[in-house]
Amino acid sequence: MPPAASAAVPAVVFILCAVWILATLVGHDPWKPDEAYSFGLVLDFLERHDWVVPMLAGEPFLEKPPLFFITAGAFASLLGGVLPLHDAARLASGFYFAVALIFLALTARQLHRGRHGATAVVLMLGCLGIIVHAHQLVTDVGLFAGMSIALFGLASARSHPLRGGGALGVGTAIAFLSKGLLGPGILGLTALGLLLFRTWRVRTFLRALAVAAVVSLPPIVAWIAALYLREPELFATWLVTNNFGRFLGFAGIGPRQPHFFYAYTLLWYAFPALPLAGWTLWDAWREGAGKWRDDGIELPLVNFAVTVGVLGIASDARELYLMPVLLPLVLLAVPRLDRLPPLAGSALARLGSAGFGALAVCLWLGWIALVTGAPAPLSQMLAAYQPGFIAHFDGVAFIAAVVVTIAWSCFAVQPVRSASRGIVHWTTGVTLSLSLVALLYLPYIDAGKSYREVFRSMLAAVRSSGCIESRAIGEPQRALLDYFAHLKTVREELGPAASCDMLLVQGWRSSGAPARAPEWTPVWEGARAGDDKELYRLYVRRTAQHPGASW
């Protein structure tokens, strides 16, 4: 590669990463389920600055340790005057994801003699499953960053035990303080799995593990001890219910999925890293057993097997939980790309150009229909999906969308001479589509997902004094009710009926949202525009002093 072209690679990768990370990161309200309740925990930290017990709308919420919420709170405090509070908080996800990409590149370079760092980053950005979750305010992004740092530590452990052990310790602590026992458990089993290989049973590796323990244990033990000393029952809720209970299934919480959910989800979630990782393993097997004794295969393969195995035996399952699986898959995918037939790289580039090019055309046509009303059938279809939405022409967003479309068009016609180049073509197509959604469609999507209008419309019917009891209000809705309407409800599910003179009920359009007794009079009813499922109804207690008036 010519020196000028080689020097341009870091700049191109940096621009691609910046555009990819920032797209959809800001510009919309918190969306349920995960973003909404996560932002509720950030709100509580901003109000109380309590680093021990996360609270959601006035109630302890011990599902996860507080590091991610503290980080998001710091971003909200620093930039809340420039951006909406929720957008500023969401920048924490961008920060953690950028950290994960940096250490992914460092790990690839460590494993492959200074090569493939940029390729690993670009391939990660091209994985389909990471697109949505990396832009959400969710603790899994913090776990993802911790795992990436820890993998760099494992990759460096034998050659630089102090540096490797330090990185492993920091990554383990971040993973734990973001998500709980899952991350440290996977990393511990990965370290044990590596000891099965003779080349890893060396003193420097054991020394690095000792350094990692010294680095990671103080922050982990500090939070655990502070939580236990503050409230032993909350500690038990966190440890027994939200860690072992969720994992083993005896707590009865968490989503259930069909058998082999992760097996078939990975087929699209990890594309194109999964087939490329398969090529690496097949090519190494074809060359002989000796090629398997390579750090670039052993470490990511063990970590992949452990991560998938742990997730597979867990009681609950979600595609969100697959984020850490992408790290070892990408690391497995990059070392044999130069041995991949050029036709494969060309096919990936053509698939990306054709697929994402067609998607870009559809996105532009949809936006034109939203703004102009023509073609009428498409405009009517989009309007039916988001009733009441009125599109406005945004000149800045339009110009930016035109620029990224032209830039991608110029790049897409460039020749593809290698698999690495094909990956870049694929990822630029992903970035184009993501950018067009962010620039042209975020207000449209947000109109159907946001609870801002429905909860603020309720305020006109709320009495200025007294408490509000609630029934069947979900955690995301309670968080957004606190944010948009500054209302914290007394939940009926926590105990005997409260003496509140207002009652908020979450129900369904098919069955209504009935009060529990005849003395409650409805004064307000609402739902999100276009939501044909949820229904909210506010009641007041009928008394001699407040007879109430039905809507």
What are the tokens at 375?
Answer: 């073609």
Answer for the pair 284, 292: CB distance below 8 angstroms, yes or no. yes
496, with CB counted inside 10 A (0-12, 13-18, 19+), is: exposed
User: What is the mean pLDDT of the segment spanning 246-256?
Assistant: 79
> Which among 115, 125, 323, 194 has a CA at the least distance from the CA of 107?
115
Q: Three-state SS for 468?
A: strand
pLDDT at res. 246: 87
pLDDT at res. 6: 47
Strand partners, 56: 59
pLDDT at res. 303: 98
Measured distance CA(232)–CA(476) in Å, rounded = 26
Sign of the dihedral through C-alpha 135, 141, 142, 145: negative
The average confidence (pLDDT) of the chain is 91
Answer for the pair 411, 376: CB distance below 8 angstroms, yes or no. no
What are the tokens at 352?
Answer: 């990306």
Measured distance CA(28)–CA(446) in Å, rounded = 6
Q: Which of 225-239, 259-273, 277-291, 382-396 has the lowest mean pLDDT?
A: 277-291
User: What is the mean pLDDT of the segment spanning 445-451?
Assistant: 94
Percent of the chain with pLDDT over 70: 95
- The band of 161, judged by pLDDT with boundaries at 50, 70 and 90, is very high
Measured distance CA(428)–CA(494) in Å, rounded = 50
pLDDT at res. 547: 54
Answer whether residue 151 shows pLDDT above 90: yes
User: What is the mean pLDDT of the segment spanning 40-66?
Assistant: 94
pLDDT tens for each residue of 286-326: 877 666 667 689 999 999 999 999 999 998 889 999 999 99
Termini Cα distance of the chain: 73
Answer whether residue 497 shows pLDDT above 70: no
Sorted by sequence, the CB contacts under 8 Å of residue 403 that are 6+ apart come out as none
Q: Which of 44-53, 265-274, 386-395, 461-470 has the lowest mean pLDDT?
A: 461-470
Q: Three-state SS for 537?
A: strand
pLDDT tens for each residue of 358-416: 999 999 999 999 999 999 999 999 998 898 899 999 999 999 999 999 999 998 888 88
User: What is the mean pLDDT of the segment spanning 431-453?
Assistant: 95
- The band of 419, judged by pLDDT with boundaries at 50, 70 and 90, is confident
pLDDT at res. 99: 98
pLDDT at res. 5: 43
What are the tokens at 154?
Answer: 């494992």
User: What is the mean pLDDT of the segment spanning 463-476?
Assistant: 86
Answer whether residue 214 shows pLDDT above 80: yes
- The band of 470, judged by pLDDT with boundaries at 50, 70 and 90, is very high
Looking at per-residue confidence, does 419 or 77 come out higher? 77
pLDDT at res. 7: 44
Percent of the chain with pLDDT over 90: 75
pLDDT at res. 467: 86
Measured distance CA(294)–CA(285) in Å, rounded = 12
- The band of 247, judged by pLDDT with boundaries at 50, 70 and 90, is confident
User: What is the mean pLDDT of the segment spanning 156-175?
Assistant: 97
Measured distance CA(427)–CA(409) in Å, rounded = 13
> Which among 440, 373, 458 has a CA at the least distance from the CA of 401?
440
Answer whether residue 3 shows pLDDT above 70: no
pLDDT at res. 417: 77
pLDDT tens for each residue of 326-362: 999 999 999 988 888 888 888 898 899 999 999 999 9
What are the tokens at 205?
Answer: 């590796």
The number of CA neighbours under 13 Å toward the Cβ of 434 is 28
Q: Could you give the residue ranges of the DSSP H alpha helices within 49-160?
A: 67-79, 85-111, 117-126, 130-133, 139-156
User: What is the mean pLDDT of the segment spanning 71-80?
Assistant: 96
Measured distance CA(201)–CA(449) in Å, rounded = 52
**pTM of structure:** 0.94
User: What is the mean pLDDT of the segment spanning 102-107?
Assistant: 97
Answer whether residue 37 shows pLDDT above 80: yes
What are the tokens at 279?
Answer: 């090529």
User: What is the mean pLDDT of the segment spanning 64-68?
Assistant: 96
Answer for the pair 20, 432: CB distance below 8 angstroms, yes or no. no
Answer whether residue 496 shows pLDDT above 80: no
Answer whether residue 72 shows pLDDT above 50: yes
Q: Which of 384-393, 447-456, 462-471 has the lowest mean pLDDT?
A: 462-471
Answer for the pair 490, 467: CB distance below 8 angstroms, yes or no. yes
